[in-house]
């Protein structure tokens, strides 16, 4: 296998391996199983580069498409931290004009990003606030709010983030509600329009941050607070802080840092 280029980046310590593959000639011919195996090898934190997921950078219809994979090789519709890192890469490489809105295609449709110095804002689109469900870890069970951000989330408000335990396994959830699995956020209040969370991510396990999860947590908190569009919350995650804004026209904006930390080649 010839060497191919990669970069490493993160957003609030949700970290990713980026694979430039503009014409699909490097990874595009792999079967789904071969690509999943390559993703697992790249994300392995001992034998590989290490990451919560892979962002494949693909040219599509004259624009850019983010092909996101979780570290277990599974495909997801969207990645809020990842798309900011993706946009940072495009700007750093001079592939887009960072002074203008940046459209990026995803499996959840077209998203638009704007760069303001160290911070990047992703327009995550309209949240879908759905019904109540339940999630459980050994020794604890909670009612949770089902929120869809293009990918599925269950948001549980807990007394202490420690109540979620070690999160070594996926929290129990209703397979009928989440036939494709679910990202589970455990949220505590920190003050007015200020929450903190831990997350067990579908396909990656506990991560230091989850962008779509922070959006789901904010929307669930706003609804619980009797708020809605026209509000903004600070969301603290183990890897840093994100700002989530629910606009008057019912769109969610996710703002946070995004950095590229390394580049190289690999034959993994
Ligand atoms: N694990 C998620 C995708 C990555 C989400 C997270 N890394 C983010 O920043 O949104 C899923 O399977 O839906």
66 and 172 belong to one structural domain:
no
For ligand 1, the distance from its centroid to the CA atom of residue 200, given in whole angstroms, is: 10
For ligand 1, the distance from its centroid to the CA atom of residue 76, given in whole angstroms, is: 7
Do residues 78 and 212 make contact, with C-beta atoms less than 8 angstroms apart?
yes
Which pLDDT score is estimated for 68?
98
Do residues 267 and 38 make contact, with C-beta atoms less than 8 angstroms apart?
no
Tokens 């455990």, located at residue: 186
The domain containing residue 24 runs over which residues?
Answer: 4-124+257-266
Q: How far is CA 28 from CA 20, 103, 261, in A?
A: 11, 22, 25
Ligand 1 atom nearest residue 79's Cα: 10
Which pLDDT score is estimated for 153?
98
For ligand 1, the distance from its centroid to the CA atom of residue 119, given in whole angstroms, is: 19
- What is d(CA 69, CA 17) in angstroms, rounded to the nearest whole number? 10
103 and 197 belong to one structural domain:
no
Residue of 51, 70, 123, 257 with the most ligand 1 atoms within 8 Å of its CB, for mutation: 70
116 and 138 belong to one structural domain:
no
Structure tokens of 112? 């638009």
**Helices 211-224 and 80-92, axial angle in degrees (round to 10):** 130
Instruction: Flag whether pLDDT at 1 surpasses 90.
Output: no
136 and 232 belong to one structural domain:
yes
73 and 159 belong to one structural domain:
no
* Residue 132: partners with Cβ closer than 8 Å, 6 or more residues away: 143, 144, 145, 146
Instruction: Flag whether pLDDT at 228 surpasses 90.
Output: yes
147 and 99 belong to one structural domain:
no
Locate the DSSP E strands across 32-108: 53-60, 63-70, 102-106
Residue 200, CB-side half-sphere exposure with 13 Å CA sphere: 21
Structure tokens of 115? 């760069």
Segment 100-126 mean pLDDT: 98
133 and 225 belong to one structural domain:
yes
Structure tokens of 114? 């704007």
36 and 69 belong to one structural domain:
yes
User: Is 80 labelled as part of a ligand binding site?
Assistant: yes
Structure tokens of 93? 């490489």
Q: How far apart are the first and last CA of the chain?
A: 8
pLDDT for 34-92, tens place per residue? 999 999 999 999 999 999 999 999 999 999 999 999 999 999 999 999 999 999 999 99
Residue of 183, 184, 244, 256 with the most ligand 1 atoms within 8 Å of its CB, for mutation: 183
* Residue 25: partners with Cβ closer than 8 Å, 6 or more residues away: none
CATH of the domain at 100: 3.10.310.10
Structure tokens of 215? 């959006």
pLDDT for 58-67, tens place per residue? 999 999 999 9
Per cent of the chain over pLDDT 70 is 100
119 and 185 belong to one structural domain:
no
- Cβ–ligand 1 contact at 257 (below 6 Å): no
Domains identified in the chain, total number: 2
pLDDT for 197-216, tens place per residue? 999 999 999 999 999 999 99
- What is d(CA 119, CA 142) in angstroms, rounded to the nearest whole number? 34
Segment 112-121 mean pLDDT: 98
Q: Say what the ipTM of the complex is.
A: 0.96
Instruction: Flag whether pLDDT at 166 surpasses 80.
Output: yes
The catalytic residues are 79, 210
Instruction: Flag whether pLDDT at 2 surpasses 90.
Output: no
This prediction has a pTM of 0.98
244 and 151 belong to one structural domain:
yes
69 and 98 belong to one structural domain:
yes
Which pLDDT score is estimated for 78?
97
Tokens 């989850």, located at residue: 210
Which pLDDT score is estimated for 192?
97
21 and 120 belong to one structural domain:
yes
């Amino acid at each position: 296998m010839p060497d191919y280029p990669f970069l490493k980046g993160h957003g609030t310590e949700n970290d990713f391996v980026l694979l430039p593959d503009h014409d699909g000639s490097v990874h595009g011919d792999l079967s789904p199983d071969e690509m999943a195996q390559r993703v697992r090898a790249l994300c392995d934190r001992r034998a590989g580069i290490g990451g919560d997921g892979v962002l494949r950078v693909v040219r599509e219809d004259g624009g850019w498409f983010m092909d996101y994979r979780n570290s277990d090789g599974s495909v997801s519709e969207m990645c809020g931290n990842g798309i900011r890192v993706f946009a940072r890469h495009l700007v750093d490489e001079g592939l887009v004009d960072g002074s203008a809105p940046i459209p990026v295609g995803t499996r959840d449709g077209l998203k638009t990003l704007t760069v303001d110095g160290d911070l990047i804002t992703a327009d995550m689109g309209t949240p879908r606030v759905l019904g109540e469900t339940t999630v459980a870890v050994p020794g604890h069970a909670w009612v949770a709010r089902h929120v869809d951000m293009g990918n599925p989330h269950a948001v549980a408000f807990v007394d202490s983030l420690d109540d979620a335990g070690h999160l070594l396994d996926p929290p129990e959830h209703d397979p009928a509600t989440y036939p494709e699995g679910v990202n589970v956020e455990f949220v505590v209040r920190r003050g007015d329009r200020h929450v903190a969370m831990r997350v067990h991510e579908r396909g990656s396990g506990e991560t230091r941050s989850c962008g779509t999860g922070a959006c789901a947590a904010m929307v669930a908190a706003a609804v619980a607070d009797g708020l809605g569009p026209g509000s903004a919350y600070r969301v603290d995650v183990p890897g840093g802080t994100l700002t989530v804004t629910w606009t008057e026209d019912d769109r969610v904006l996710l703002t946070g840092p995004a950095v590229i930390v390394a580049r190289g080649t690999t034959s993994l």
